[in-house]
Amino acid sequence: MQYKAFTRNNFDRIRAFGRLSQDQVRAIRVVSEVLPFKTNNYVVNELIDWDHYEDDPMFILNFPQKDMLEADQFNRIAEMIGNHADRSELARYVNEIRISLNPHPAGQLEHNVPTLKGEKLTGIQHKYRETMLFFPSQGQTCHAYCTFCFRWPQFTGMSELKFAMKQANLLVDYLRVNPAITDILLTGGDPMVMRASVLEKYIDTILGAGIPHLKTIRIGTKSLAFWPYRFLTDNDSEDVLRVFRKITDRGINLAIMAHFSHQRELSTGAVQEAVKKIRSTGAQIRTQSPVLRHINDDPDVWATMWRKQVDMGMIPYYMFVARDTGAQSYFGVNLPEAHRIFTEAYRRVSGVCRTVRGPSMSTGPGKIRIEGIAEIRGEKVFVMNFIQGRNPEWVGIPFFAAYNPDAQWLDDLVPAFGESEFFYEQEYNKLIEEDKSETENRRKSVAHF
């Protein structure tokens, strides 16, 4: 199957199949000024249930909805479009909204970007000791955009292969001097939008370096859900699988970290075939998703997904709490609800599905799981624990927040038992300060030269 994207720029293709109401068309036009919009022929033809599209999770996952903006924001943009307002005036307003939507949660951009020989390694993030993230510049878009995600494509004008080589060399240099790192996680956007030749350049450089402490290469991707033909019929599909095999043949684990948000994404012949192909290369597939209102805020969905994933040979890995960014007021599930959904689903599945962990918030200090809701000496509390910590020593120490039925994120929580701060806070603030002054020093020394 030939990939065909639907975006704002070829809107008529979607209008042409006549399914969308006038209101929906207008809503998409308006909201997609702010939130990214891109879908494709697989999602449209094989995933969305057009007979009930207005409540369909696959539709909502890809098509911007009116309620994803506040009413006054929506109306003002609609008005500006209607009046053919000046593009730059519109852009200014859109930007204002975007900034209010917290586009870089948990200090993603400024923190955890390492340096080597005084040079900042953009494209690398190293927060948890064992695992470095790598954002290949050619993988910063996706086969379709999730409406809950606040990322938009970044393109580079540089020659792809040349740039890949340069980036991969830096990555390997960093890896060499950090023997605690066992895992590289290629992420994006979606690295599987890269051509096989570009992916291969990265993988060859990494494998060629022969780094003994590197045990696992992971690739985070939504392609199994949004474009399984990536592994079936794209003109370089066979090459993708060959590159995967190259990794496993070297005795290095290859883990495809697959994003699945709903069981519908597991239902097509194409995804089932793609999973088989990937598994036949010796790769493992681990699955994850945030819990999202209107999409999967139901224990049935999760229990069904986990069972089906295991049937297909995949390993359930994470359930995330929706980040404090983008259309969170539309998608957000509060913490008690997230915990209930996780627990009820977990209780319904056998041990082979219980490799999953959650609900987990990816926060500045670390990945924090809501372990449970308890009453301790008359006070109702959230019991929490780090799955990953900015300091690895924080992992495995239960801690307690005062119960708050409306809390959606760590920021909404305060310590239980009248304590003034969580056990990690002082140390975390110090780590952040060090980060900042390091950046500051680097800036100064650059200025000096």
Ligand X SMILES: *Cc1c(COP(=O)(O)O)cnc(C)c1O
* Measured torsion, CA atoms of residues 48, 50, 51, 54, in degrees rounded to the nearest 10: 90
If binding is defined by CB under 6 A, does position 140 make contact with ligand X? no
Q: Which of 58-66, 128-136, 412-420, 422-430 is the region at the interface with ligand X (rule: CB under 6 A)?
A: 128-136
If binding is defined by CB under 6 A, does position 296 make contact with ligand X? no
Q: Which of 185-193, 311-319, 345-353, 409-417 is the region at the interface with ligand SF4 (rule: CB under 6 A)?
A: 185-193
- Kindly tell me which of 80 and 322 has the beta carbon lying closer to ligand SF4: 322
Secondary structure E strands in 302-425: 315-321, 357-362, 366-376, 379-389, 399-402
If binding is defined by CB under 6 A, does position 190 make contact with ligand SF4? yes
CB of 372 to ligand SF4, least distance (A): 28
List the single partner that 133 binds among ligand SF4, ligand X, none, CB under 5 to 8 Å by kind: ligand X
- Phi, then psi, of 287 in degrees rounded to 5: -120, 150
CB of 261 to ligand SF4, least distance (A): 9
Structure tokens at 7: 């975006």
List the single partner that 38 binds among ligand X, ligand SF4, none, CB under 5 to 8 Å by kind: none
How many Cα atoms occupy the beta-carbon half-sphere of 119 within 13 Å?
Answer: 11
Separation between Cα atoms, residue 32 and residue 241, nearest integer Å: 35
Write down the residue that tokens 């990536």 correspond to: 230
If binding is defined by CB under 6 A, does position 189 make contact with ligand SF4? yes
If binding is defined by CB under 6 A, does position 192 make contact with ligand SF4? no
Q: Which of 7, 41, 102, 131 is close enough to bind ligand X by CB under 6 A? A: 131
Separation between Cα atoms, residue 218 and residue 239, nearest integer Å: 18
If binding is defined by CB under 6 A, does position 323 make contact with ligand X? no
**Cross-sheet strand order for the sheet of 379-389:** 124-128, 131-134, 183-186, 216-221, 253-259, 284-291, 315-321, 357-362, 366-376, 379-389, 399-402
List the single partner that 128 binds among ligand SF4, ligand X, none, CB under 5 to 8 Å by kind: ligand X
Amino acid identity, residue 380? K
CB of 367 to ligand X, least distance (A): 6
List the single partner that 388 binds among ligand X, ligand SF4, none, CB under 5 to 8 Å by kind: ligand X
List the single partner that 222 binds among ligand SF4, ligand X, none, CB under 5 to 8 Å by kind: ligand SF4
Structure tokens at 358: 């959650």
Amino acid identity, residue 215? K
Q: Which of 120, 151, 215, 250 is close enough to bind ligand SF4 by CB under 6 A? A: 151
CA proximity to 188, closest of 137, 224, 146, 252: 137
For residue 44, with 0-12 CB atoms within 10 Å meaning exposed, 13-18 middle and 19 or more buried, which class applies? Answer: buried
Q: How many residues sit in the footprint of ligand X (CB under 6 A)? A: 10
List the single partner that 146 binds among ligand X, ligand SF4, none, CB under 5 to 8 Å by kind: ligand SF4
Structure tokens at 440: 């500051």
If binding is defined by CB under 6 A, does position 141 make contact with ligand X? no
Crossing angle of helices 71-82 and 22-31, in 10° steps, is 100
Q: How many residues sit in the footprint of ligand SF4 (CB under 6 A)? A: 10
CB of 295 to ligand SF4, least distance (A): 12
Q: Which of 37, 42, 128, 226 is close enough to bind ligand X by CB under 6 A? A: 128
CB of 315 to ligand X, least distance (A): 12
If binding is defined by CB under 6 A, does position 206 make contact with ligand SF4? no
Separation between Cα atoms, residue 29 and residue 397, nearest integer Å: 48
- Phi, then psi, of 337 in degrees rounded to 5: -70, -45
If binding is defined by CB under 6 A, does position 428 make contact with ligand X? no
Q: Which of 34, 80, 101, 146 is close enough to bind ligand SF4 by CB under 6 A? A: 146
- Kindly tell me which of 205 and 288 has the beta carbon lying closer to ligand SF4: 288
If binding is defined by CB under 6 A, does position 362 make contact with ligand X? yes
Q: Which of residues 367-426 bind ligand X (CB under 6 A)?
A: 367, 387-388
If binding is defined by CB under 6 A, does position 43 make contact with ligand SF4? no
3-state class (DSSP) for residue 287: strand
User: Are the beta carbons of 205 and 174 closer than 8 angstroms?
Assistant: no
For residue 16, with 0-12 CB atoms within 10 Å meaning exposed, 13-18 middle and 19 or more buried, which class applies? Answer: exposed
User: Are the beta carbons of 373 and 413 closer than 8 angstroms?
Assistant: no
Which run of H or E residues covers position 337? helix 335-347
Cis status, amide bond into 359, omega within 30 of 0: yes
Q: Which of 128-136, 183-191, 269-277, 279-287 is the region at the interface with ligand SF4 (rule: CB under 6 A)?
A: 183-191
Residues that bind ligand X (CB under 6 A): 125, 127-128, 131, 133, 185, 362, 367, 387-388
Residues that bind ligand SF4 (CB under 6 A): 142, 145-146, 149, 151, 188-190, 222, 259
